[in-house]
Structure 1
Amino acid sequence: MTPDRAETVALQALAWIAADEELLPQLAGATGMSLGDAKDRAQDPVFLAGILEFLCMEDRWIRRFCDDNDLPYDLPMKALMSLPGQQRDEWP
């Protein structure tokens, strides 16, 4: 997966989380960021990796995100592993 595609998946995840009344407060609590802060950092690949790390904390979140966006369940983790500082051989 290219870094650009990984960033696109992370931006989809950020938008999806922002629209979810359950997850947005959890993201804010976990990061200490407001939605405005998140928007300001939306072009930062390291921040986007953090969004995917948050999403990947719960299988049910991954399933809901992927089902809502018609994506394969392994895509968020593959995207995470394609962002800076996350590359690992087991996630091509």
Structure 2
Amino acid sequence: MKFPGKIGPDEAEQVAIAALSFVANDPVLLPRFLSLTGIEASQIRSAADAPGFLAGVLQFIRAHEPTLSAFCDAAGQTPDDVAAAVRALPFGDERYEAST
């Protein structure tokens, strides 16, 4: 799932859903993600519809270089693809926090 050039919202969502699946299927990452987000495993599906959640998943992946590398290898993405996907999602603009 490689997206050359600019990534639009639909493609970004595909990358984020792949990242969520990657996290959900990892016995080490999932508990860490749940702990950091404060949600329970049973809430993931409904949380995925909330604005900003998918961007948060990608930000979680990007925050740890080995995790980012493993995800990129598994999903056929590059770190730049992941960064572009974050920016294309609601609340994923890295400048958002500075403007609030």
Q: TM-score range by the shorter chain?
A: 0.7 to 0.9
How far 1:35 moved relative to its partner? 1.9
Q: What does residue 59 of structure 2 align with?
A: 53
1:29 to 32, 35, 48: 35
Over alpha carbons, which structure has the higher Rg?
Answer: 2
TM-score, normalised by the number of residues in structure 2: 0.80
Where does 1:1-92 land on structure 2 (aligned, <5 Å)?
Answer: 1-87=7-93
Q: Tell me, in whole angstroms, the C-alpha distance in 2 between the residues paired with 1:4 and 1:35.
A: 25
Task: Kindly state the Cα deviation for residue 41 of structure 1 after the two structures are TM-superposed.
Answer: 2.0
Note the alpha carbon deviations across 1:28-66, whole angstroms, 9 max, x for none.
110111122111122334111111111111111110001
Number of residues of Structure 1 aligned to a counterpart in Structure 2: 89
Runs of 4+ off more than 6 Å: none
Structure 1 gap segments, 5+ residues each: none
Given residue 19 of structure 1, which amino acid in structure 2 is its aligned partner?
N
The Cα RMSD (Å) is: 1.7
Partner of 1:52, secondary structure, is helix
